[in-house]
């Protein structure tokens, strides 16, 4: 590619590849995630919002896909949890397979835990789940395996590990022997049980990590290209040498004047692509793939917007100083054009737009408000999010942008938030 490419085109292309231009309307949860990339999940509503913004999917359709194992939340790249389509279950597990080994090695060094002890506990857990015939939560597993779970005392507590149970559960999930299922079928609430995974998506006890890295690179640049090697390293958690080796077979093509690389099968389409003239607004979570696949927020912000005060931050801290958006984001053709939060007390979306609000923007805000209000009950962005923790950001947004009031929902139709902290 021999000609320089504008940032405006890059942004619009990223939004197009992410399906934030309406091109995936009506697609299934599996197909959306296969096309646009795995959805980061941290006990919040990010996956729901992302699927709604891309394909108009309601919560029932997403929950049904989870129940039918068309998509599943599992530990993956960098040992972090993602909602992954069925076709990528094995790859997702292989991409995160090294994380439990590191945790067990750290526990061996500092807490006297041995791999043999964790392997014995793991076998006991699988046997208990096989016998139970229903999901068991961590308390139920502890009762079933008894003294096989060892308390790690004060030393463990200081390291955030009170017993050996989390080590075994992490290892079993990464090896595809068990899977975690939401107690109430929802992705945005941290109450889980565990069941055996049979048949397991992993056919080998030890995945071929080199092959997994190469396939992950192919998937990644298909979702996120143009992207740099640095972007891929962030997503994958690989070392510089391993990342370089993983992308070598891809024959990636450079974008003139940048460090960005594009898969060869996208070059022709990218060269022909033009920026849509009409605005196309989408309200998504701060961990949405449009941002998090690269984790390079400056590329989505105009300079004037990057210089804006970050909501509820210390004076002088700007949006350009943040590694991640401080709030959920409003995007238009790949550019971040606003920030938003949901206020469950008033059942409104409070937002600050960086552009003059238009009917199209108000329509997008209203549609997302209705979705959150009627189907989710709240827009918790992580397991630690709450209306109380959100209040300073809401106040900052409300002070900076006149509120578009859409009216409260009748009290008898409100959906309560019954979430609890993860075990």
DSSP SS3 for 49: helix
**Residue 309 pLDDT level (bands cut at 50, 70, 90):** very high
Q: What span, in angstroms and rounded, lies between the C-alpha atoms of 57 and 55?
A: 5
199-205-210 Cα angle (round to 5)? 115
Q: How far apart are CA 37 and CA 33, in angstroms?
A: 5
Q: In this predicted structure, which of 164-178, 214-228, 386-400 has the lowest mean pLDDT? A: 386-400
Tell me: cis bond preceding 199? Omega within 30 of 0 counts.
Answer: yes
pLDDT digits (tens, 9 = 90+) for 266-293: 999 999 999 999 999 999 999 999 999 9
DSSP H helices in 323-386 = 359-371
Give the tens place of pLDDT for each residue, 86-141: 999 999 999 998 899 899 999 999 999 999 999 999 999 999 999 998 999 999 99
C-alpha 369 chain-centroid distance: 21
For the entire predicted model, the pTM comes to: 0.91
Residue 177 φ then ψ, to 5°: -90, -30
| Residues in CB range of 209: below 8 A, 6 or more apart | 94, 97, 98
If DSSP codes are grouped into helix, strand and coil, which group holds residue 202? Answer: coil
Residues 233, 239, 245, CA angle at the centre, nearest 5°? 85
- How many CB atoms within 10 Å of residue 160? 7
Cβ atoms of 318 and 310 within 8 Å: the answer is yes
pLDDT tens digits for range 165-191: 999 999 999 999 999 999 899 999 888
Q: Is the backbone of residue 43 left (phi > 0), alpha (psi -120 to 50) or beta?
A: left
Residues in the chain: 423
Statement: residue 152 has pLDDT above 70: yes
Higher-confidence position of 384 and 306: 306
């Amino acid at each position: 590619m021999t000609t320089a490419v504008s940032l405006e085109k890059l942004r619009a292309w990223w939004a197009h590849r992410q399906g934030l231009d309406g091109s995936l309307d009506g697609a299934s949860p599996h197909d959306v995630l296969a096309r646009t990339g795995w959805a980061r999940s941290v006990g919040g509503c990010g996956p729901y919002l992302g699927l709604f913004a891309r394909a108009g999917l309601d919560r029932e359709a997403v929950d049904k896909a989870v129940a039918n194992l068309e998509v599943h939340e599992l530990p993956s790249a960098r040992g972090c949890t993602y909602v992954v389509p069925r076709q990528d279950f094995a790859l997702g597990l292989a991409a995160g397979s090294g994380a439990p080994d590191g945790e067990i090695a750290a526990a061996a060094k500092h807490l006297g835990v041995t791999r043999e002890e964790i392997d014995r506990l793991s076998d006991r857990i699988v046997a208990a789940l096989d016998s139970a015939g229903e999901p068991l939560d961590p308390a139920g597993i502890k009762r079933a395996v008894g003294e096989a779970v060892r308390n790690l005392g004060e030393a463990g507590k200081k390291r955030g590990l009170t017993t050996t149970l989390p080590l075994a559960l992490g290892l079993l999930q990464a090896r595809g022997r068990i899977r975690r299922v939401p107690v109430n079928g929802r992705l945005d609430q941290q109450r889980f049980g565990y069941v055996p995974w049979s048949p397991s998506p992993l056919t080998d006890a030890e995945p071929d990590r080199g092959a997994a890295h190469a396939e992950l690179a192919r998937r990644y640049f298909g979702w996120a290209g143009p992207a740099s090697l640095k972007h891929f390293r962030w997503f994958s958690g690989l070392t510089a040498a391993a990342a370089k080796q993983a992308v070598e077979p891809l024959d990636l093509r450079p974008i003139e004047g940048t460090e960005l690389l594009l898969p060869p099968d996208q070059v022709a389409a990218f060269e022909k692509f033009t920026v849509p003239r009409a605005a196309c607004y989408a309200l998504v979570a701060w961990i949405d793939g449009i941002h998090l696949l690269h984790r390079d927020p400056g590329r989505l912000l105009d300079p004037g917007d990057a210089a804006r005060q970050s909501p509820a931050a210390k004076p002088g801290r700007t949006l350009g100083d943040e590694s991640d958006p401080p709030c959920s984001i409003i995007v238009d053709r790949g550019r971040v054009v606003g920030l938003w939060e949901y206020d469950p007390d008033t059942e409104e979306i409070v937002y600050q737009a960086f552009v003059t609000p238009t009917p199209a923007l108000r329509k997008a805000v209203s549609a997302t408000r209705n979705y959150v209000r009627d189907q989710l009950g709240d827009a918790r962005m992580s397991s630690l999010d709450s209306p109380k923790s959100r209040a300073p950001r809401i106040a900052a947004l409300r002070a900076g942008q006149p509120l578009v009031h859409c009216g409260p929902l009748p009290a008898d139709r409100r959906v309560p938030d019954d979430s609890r902290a993860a075990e």
